[in-house]
Structure 1
Amino acid sequence: MFNKILIANRGEIAVRIIRAARELGVGTVAIYSTADRDALHVHLADEAICVGPARSTESYLNMNNILSAAVATGAQAIHPGFGFLSENSKFARLCEEMNIKFIGPSAKVMDMMGDKINARAEMIKAGVPVTPGSEGEVHTTDEAVKIAEEIGYPIMLKASAGGGGKGIRKVNNVEELVPAFEAAQAEAQAAFGNGAMFIERMIFPARHIEVQILGDSQGNVIHLGERDCSLQRNNQKVLEESPSVAIGHTLRNEITAAAVKAAQHVSYENAGTIEFLLDESSGKFYFMEMNTRVQVEHPVTEFVSGVDIVKEQIRVANGNELSVKQEDVTFSGHAIECRLNAENPKFNFAPSPGKITNLFLPSGGVGLRVDSAMYSGYSIPPYYDSMIAKVIVHGENRFEALMKMQRALLEFDVEGVITNVDFQLELISDPHVVAGDYDTSFLGNVFLPEYQKED
């Protein structure tokens, strides 16, 4: 096993990785920006090293500084977490060249599956269903208009190198296409340095279903079931649960088998997620994209499967076989995760950085977990993601999980900054959500308009 790994991230995921490594007996190195000098992950790691100023481009995205930190501290591997450099094949390749193990898939596989156009082509080869769409990159509005006419409206414009909801637009007709294409392309160029787009027919209404997979260097690939991530705002997930109430036994077998087939086709190693859109009316599902990293919502899968995904990532990167085989994986109960952010839902979810003057995290009882890097007296910097905690619950059934989440959110107390706790409490208590009657349009088209009417 590795003696020491460096965590190329911050916040709750850095804390999560440090804890998993410590339980495996592996030493840890935290990196931090000058704005994160007092962050929890800095205090918890065995060693910590500053890699630059507050701006991400000069610290958490600074490949040279991060690799220099790994060399200086003798770290044998780098865990990228999610976001930042986690899906950057150049960084993974640099790690390989410097004989530092990147805890994730190879740069080659990241190139193959990280680019949505390449991924789509590979899935067609693998026999995994994909939505009707463009066969390659789309660079001009004239191309977009022609392809959209062939596919039929409504369509989705997506950045080829996209992620995190950037460079995505829904288009209902030809009048909307040109301005939407230009806006999405400009956003993609600014966010990823790549303005290439592609077009897909929009599956609407739909469920956003993703399957957690794990692979090792011996060719073993397993799935850990599915997550329903349909509750989204601006293509950003808000609440996730497992299993999905929209999927029965037969469809579950089909969609998880497709995910395993997809991973096997590209000889995938480490943790990854295959995302699908499910048309509930027809029961058909379509490949959307693959995330070649650990997901924010991985704890719900850990609760229902009993498998520690981050520990498996470290073991696999060390060259070990997966600790479980598919026949050993059993699923139990129901899990839900709510993302809690320092933001103001009543003011268009504007970020609310500042000093936390008091913090009480819910606790007590079986099946409750809070992943956070916050503490009383901590000042949330304005430079990074606004997520302050994830509350994850597990119950014997979905009703118990819902009630446990309501209880946990009622106990959550933070002073000094505005949060979305009340928003999440109303969402988890909404009759449609309680009934499992929602899709990707629900939060934006049904829940939010009513919520924002309230005083």
Structure 2
Amino acid sequence: MPTTTTIQRPIKKLLVANRGEIAIRILQSVRELPNSPETYGLYTSNDSTHISLGRPNHAIEIPSPATYMDVSALVQLAKDRGIDAVHPGYGFLSESPEFARQMWEQANCMVIGPESNILETTGDKLEAKTLAAKFDVPVLSAMTSPSQNVDDIGMFANKVGFPIMIKAADGGGGRGIRLVREAAELQTAVQRCIAESPSGKVFAENAAVDGFKHIEIQIIGDGKGGVKHVWERDCSMQRRFQKIVEVAPAVVADRSTVTQVIAAAMRIAQGVHYLGLGTFEFLVNVDKKEFYFLEINPRIQVEHTISESIANVDLVHEQLLLAQGLTDHTADLPTTADANPPSRFSVQLRLCAEDPNAGFSLSTGNITKAKLPSGNGVRVDSHIVRGAVVGSDFDNLLAKIIVTASSWQSVVVKARRALEDTEIFGVKTNLSLLRAIVADREFESGTADNQWLEKNVPRLLELGDKIGEGIQKLNTSLPAVDDSAGQTSGGGAVGGALLRKGNAWSLSLSPVEASEEKAVRNHHVKIEKVLRNDFPDTLSAVVAISTSGAGSQTYKMSLESTDATQAAVNSKHKKGDASNKEHIILPMNGKLVEMLVEEGEEVKEGQVIAFVRQMKMELEVRSPRSGMITWALELEDEEGDDVEQGVLLAVLKDERSSDARMHKL
């Protein structure tokens, strides 16, 4: 039964309300439309590469990153510019019924995607589960309403047993999700999920994890009950419930269960007269022929690329045509669940700016070198170029490497080669992890479940480092690439700026609001010796500084790029000593929101001792071993302290030491 009135009309002016690779992807498809509409793109002062690469007709600078999610500001922008359609890409806006409603009611502007009432039903995880059950789709036992109370979650756990999954009712992108296997983990997990949920409301459901794959179905609905599908994607390669590697179609010997899953997704989409692209997600155990509905993502997904690759279709193009009520180009896509997938496989590898040796925390800086793969069957969606800034305001996705071939074995071999050809300098990345995943036999066999990556991270990182060493050994034996081509070859020359002994600058400093009576301070800065030059990441040198009216003084100068706030850099919190095994040191920048230990408390190896908020997620800091806390950092602000990497969190005395209780910092 239809639940929405479809809005479809020609588009004259289109706003792309997103950034990064997805903004480029949308703008490219718009420019290929018949009678292509005028396009508008958004950017901030330090994040504009997607504008240069996507080439909208009009580029609008917005005051801050927060504007991307400011519904009122975007509605006003649409009204002022006469914009009649908005493509939100993926993320918060794409799933917001309020955004779609306000755009239509206040600006006469449609949002590309499902209508607001469909978003209300499908975007809320509990509502979506109820919807699935109405169409006889298996669902996991779950709470019937969200809660902010740990006791409510505990009562549910006592009823159904562990393990359970705690989820933000309105979460996404891996945020607000925790797997709880025992009661001792419950309170902390609930608190963290609530903190990461936009509404502060969570629910719990039975967990189907061990042996289950994360399978999602790509749906295209015409808004009238007509539904086609682009087969399935296997998104089981996840870390902290964030997808890292995706495969289409799933590598399974028996497709009977997958066919049932596709049929279930189509029943739901047909029943609500779904319009546009949608991803219907399930947990599937192929061996047991068992599956459960998980959620609906009523938008284009980050991993849509692999569905495009196997079906030879432009999904963004189809979105835009459907929004205008035009005949789509998907005539060759199936309308029945049992259609065999094309004789092609595709894999997407997400290259992210994160530090594997610091709990995969965000890594920031300037891209000093970006070498991305190419060749037959290799596609790269990316917004990064040399000099691009990777900061803490946005998602850490640098590039999506998509590899397609006629067989799964060929895809694996091609993916290994593509990652060998990839280099990023300026920030730390998960490249070594990706290399290890595609090199692993269990990944190649297609048997890995949705817990496999989490369980094997230490082993995979070790394997990835070994692979990287072999690649680097070969690279150093080959002729260097000319830096003028946009690559860097080391030696201190980055961005064409070579710093040498003897370089000197005249420097004038004066207050911005200086009165005419105030004299300008003139300085002379000369490099006496370059100690280390990885500028703009780091620079260490001996410099002589002379000031007008005073003599010259020599200093050792050290510069290091940082995304830490001024408050973090100026924090009075002590720095840890990496050589002192008793020091537990913060491995990342961020906001320290909670310390869970106090002086005199005994802790076990792996116990969570603190939480740091970074990119809207709360990351755990765990004790490296068992022992007694003899000193612990105290927060200065109850809302949390801005801190930078290297801050001393606690002093941990070995539990075997007889004088542990006597030790003080």
* TM-score category of the 2 structures, normalised to the smaller one: over 0.9
2:415 to 399, 405, 412: 405
Q: Deviations over 1:273-319 (max 9, x none)?
A: 00000123411110000001100000000011112110111111112
Confirm or deny that 1:172 pairs with 2:181: yes
What's the CA shift string for 1:410-430, capped at 9, x where partnerless?
A: 112222222222221111111
8 Å Cα contact 1:215-1:221 kept in structure 2: yes
Q: Partners in 2 of 1:280 and 1:377 — Cα distance? A: 46
TM-superposed CA distance for 1:161, in Å, is: 1.2
8 A contact 1:40–1:373 mirrored in 2: no
Are 2:112 and 1:108 equivalent residues in the alignment? no
CA gap 1:448/1:316 in 2 versus in 1, 3 angstroms:
farther
Bigger RCO of structures 1 and 2 (CA < 8 A, at least 6 apart): 1
CA deviation profile, 1:211-257 (whole Å, cap 9, x unmatched): 00011133311111000000000000000001111362322321111
Select 2:68's aligned residue among 60, 64, 72: 60
* Residue 247 to residue 69, structure 1, CA distance change in 2 (3 Å): farther
How far the C-alpha of 1:38 sits from its partner, in A, is 5.0
Indicate which of 70, 92, 95 corresponds to 1:84: 92
**Distance (Å, rounded) in 2 between the aligned partners of 1:236 and 1:424:** 14
**Separation in 1, partners of 2:149, 2:368:** 51
Counterpart of 1:85 in structure 2: which amino acid? L
CA positional deviation for 1:39: 4.3
Unaligned runs of 5+ in 1: none
Task: Determine the structure 2 residue equivalent to 1:373.
Answer: 383
Identity of aligned residues (%): 35
- Check conservation: 1:216, 1:322, Cα contact below 8 A: no
- Which residue of 102, 110, 120 corresponds with 1:94? 102
Q: Distance in 2 between matches of 1:319 and 1:130?
A: 34
In the alignment, structure 1 residue 451 sits paired with structure 2 residue 461: yes
Give the one of 297, 309, 315 matched to 2:315. 309
Instruction: Compare CA radii of gyration and give the structure with the larger one.
Output: 2
2:14/2:84 contact within 8 Å kept: yes
Provide the residue aligned with 1:127 in structure 2.
136
2:280 to 259, 274, 290: 274
- Once residues 31 and 365 of structure 2 are traced to their aligned partners in structure 1, the CA distance between those partners, rounded to angstroms, is 30
Q: CA RMSD in A?
A: 2.0
Match of 1:346? 357
2:208 pairs, out of 192, 202, 207, with 202
Pick from 57, 61, 74 the counterpart of residue 46 of structure 1.
57
Cα deviation, residue 67, structure 1? 2.3
Pair 65,219 (structure 1): closer, same or farther in 2 beyond 3 Å: same
The superposition leaves residues 388-407 of structure 1 with CA deviations (integer Å, 9 ceiling, x where unpaired) of 11000110000111111111
The aligned residue for residue 394 of structure 2 is 384
Distance change in 2, residues 1:129/1:256 (3 Å): same
Give the Å deviation of 1:448: 3.3
1:420 corresponds, among 423, 426, 430, to 430
CA distance in 2, matches of 1:112, 1:162: 14
C-alpha distance in 2 between matches for 1:237 and 1:96: 33
How far, CA to CA, are the matches of 1:247 and 1:116 in structure 2? 31
Kindly provide the amino acid, as one letter, of the partner of residue 120 in structure 1: K
Per the alignment, residue 38 of structure 2 pairs with: 27
1:242 counterpart letter in structure 2: A
Unaligned runs of 5+ in 2: 1-9, 467-665
1:113-148 per-residue CA deviation (whole Å, 9 max, x = no partner) reads 111111111111111111122222244233222222
| Aligned mate of 1:298, from 276, 294, 304 | 304
In the aligned structure 1, how far is the partner of 2:410 from the partner of 2:75? 46
Deviation for aligned residue 1:321: 4.1
Preserved contact between residue 142 and residue 203 of structure 2 (Cα < 8 Å): no
1:223 aligned to which of 229, 235, 238: 229
Does the 8 A contact of 1:153 with 1:202 survive in 2? no
Residue 175 (structure 1) shift: 3.1
Determine the structure 1 residue equivalent to 2:14: 5
1:358 aligns with 2:369: yes
**Residue type matched to 1:383 in 2?**
D
Range moving further from structure 2, 117-126 or 199-208: 199-208
In structure 2, C-alpha distance between the alignment counterparts of 1:82 and 1:437, rounded to whole Å: 29
Partner of 2:126: helix, strand, or coil?
Answer: helix
CA distance in 1, matches of 2:278, 2:129: 16
CA deviation map 1:162-205 (0-9, x unaligned): 111222121223333233223322332xxx13324233343433
1:278–1:285 Cα contact (<8 Å) kept: yes
Question: Could you tell me whether the CA contact under 8 Å between 1:95 and 1:101 is conserved in 2?
Answer: yes
Distance 1:48 1:40, change over 3 A: closer
State whether residues 128 and 258 of structure 1, in contact with CA within 8 Å, keep that contact through their aligned partners in structure 2: yes
Which one of 141, 145, 151 corresponds to residue 160 of structure 2?
Answer: 151
C-alpha displacement of 1:23:
0.9
Greater mean deviation of Cα atoms: 105-114 or 70-79: 70-79
**Which deviates more, 101-110 or 250-259?**
250-259
Q: Is the 8 A contact 1:11 1:41 kept in 2?
A: no
229-238 vs 330-339, which moves further: 330-339
Q: Rate the CA distance shift 1:361–1:179 in 2: closer, same or farther, 3 A.
A: closer
Which residue number in structure 2 is paired with residue 185 of structure 1? 194
Q: Which moved more, 1:10-19 or 1:136-145?
A: 136-145
Q: CA deviation at 1:43?
A: 6.0
Q: Is this contact kept in 2: 1:220–1:322, CA < 8 A?
A: no
CA offset digits 1:318-374 (Å, max 9, x no partner): 122443244488623100000011222222222222222222221122x21100111
Is the Cα–Cα contact under 8 Å of residues 356 and 376 in structure 1 kept in the other structure? yes
Relative distance call for 1:125 and 1:309 in structure 2 (3 A) is: same
The 1:434/1:171 distance shift into structure 2, 3 A limit, reads same
1:316-355 equivalent positions in 2, closer than 5 A: 316-325=322-331, 326-327=333-334, 331-355=342-366
Between 156-165 and 175-184, the greater mean CA deviation after superposition: 175-184
| Paired position in structure 2 for 1:14 | 23
Say which is worse superposed, 200-209 or 324-333, in terms of deviation: 324-333
